[in-house]
Amino acid sequence: MKNLILLGPPGAGKGTVAKRLAAEHGYLHLSTGDILREEVARGTELGKKAKAYMDAGELVPDELILAMVKERVAEKDGVLFDGFPRTLAQARGLEEFATVDMVVFLELDRDTVVRRLSARRVCPKCGALYNLLTQPPKEDERCDRCGAELIQRDDDKPEIISRRFQVYMRDSAPLVDYYREKGILVRVDAARPPEEVYSAVVSAIRDDRP
Ligand code: AP5
C-alpha cells in the first residue's frame, strides 16, 4: 500500500477525511496533532515540551516531531500522514525513513477555516469530530457514538486560530510547491461538503494521477 500525505491549512478537513479513509480503506492514520494531544493528556516528557507551543498555535520543534513519527512508522506502509510534514525540514527528514507516494492538498480559504474551527467540537472519549454548523451532533453537544459531552479544543479560540493560519502560511504552504515539483501533488477543493471532499480524495487516490 502507498504512503499518503494530507496537506492543508488548519480546519481543511484532514482529520475528517483521514479517519474515514483509515476505516474504509485500511490506512494507518498517523495524526501528529492527535499523538501530541495524547502525550499532553498523559503528562509525558514530550507532552510537557509540546504543550506551550500547541496552546500558542506555534509548531512543535522539528526534531521532536521527526523522532516521534519515525518511531511509529519505520518499515510500515499504507501510512496516511495527517498534519505532518509541516515544514520543509520535516519533509526532508521524512524522506530518510519513509517514501511518499502521493500528497493530497486540501485547499481552503482563511475565512472558511476560521468559521469551521470556531464551530468544531470533539468527543474527548472516542475522538469523534463534529461541527455545530455543518456536522452537528443529534443531541445538544453530546457525542452520537458514546454520549460523552463534547468539548472545544483549547487551540480553537479565535486568536489562536488566526495564529495557526499565519504559521501555516509561513511554514507549511511552501510544501505545496515542494511536492508539486516532485510531481506527486493532487489538489482537492476542500470548501465543498464533506461527502464531496471525501469522494474527490478517494478518486484521486484511485486514479493515482497527480
Ligand atoms: P493538528 O491537530 O494537526 O491541527 P491542524 O493541522 O491545525 O488541523 P486541525 O485538526 O485543526 O484541522 P483538520 O484539517 O484536521 O480539520 P478537521 O477534519 O478537524 O495540530 C495541532 C497543533 O499540534 C499544531 O498547532 C502544532 O502546535 C502541533 N503539531 C501537530 N503536528 C505538528 C507537526 N507536524 N509539526 C509541528 N507541530 C505540530 O475539520 C475541522 C472542522 O470542520 C470539524 O468541525 C469538521 O467537522 C468540519 N469539517 C471537516 N470537513 C468539512 C467539510 N468538507 N465541510 C464542512 N465542514 C467540515
Q: Could you list the beta-strand ranges (E) of 13-162.
A: 28-31, 79-82, 102-107, 120-122, 129-131
| Structure confidence at residue 1 as a pLDDT band (50, 70, 90) | confident
Question: Which atom of ligand 1 is found nearest the CA of 119?
Answer: 44
The confidence score (pLDDT) of residue 110 equals 95
Tell me which residue of 165, 175, 154, 56 sits closest to 115, measured CA to CA.
165
Per-residue pLDDT tens digits for 92-135? 999 999 999 999 999 999 999 999 999 999 999 998 999 999 89
Per-residue pLDDT tens digits for 16-40? 999 999 999 999 999 999 999 999 9
The confidence score (pLDDT) of residue 210 equals 44
The confidence score (pLDDT) of residue 75 equals 78
Cα 25 to Cα 4: distance, rounded to the nearest angstrom: 12
The per-residue b/e assignment along 92-107, b for 16 or more CB within 10 angstroms, e otherwise, is ebbeeebebbbbbbbe
Q: Would the CB of 11 count as within 6 Å of ligand 1?
A: yes
Q: Would the CB of 136 count as within 6 Å of ligand 1?
A: no
Q: Nearest C-alpha to atom 17 of ligand 1 is from which residue?
A: 13
Contact indicator for 186, 204 with CB cutoff of 8 Å: yes
Per-residue pLDDT tens digits for 138-163? 988 899 999 999 999 989 999 999 99
Q: How far is the CA of 13 from the centre of ligand 1 (A)?
A: 7
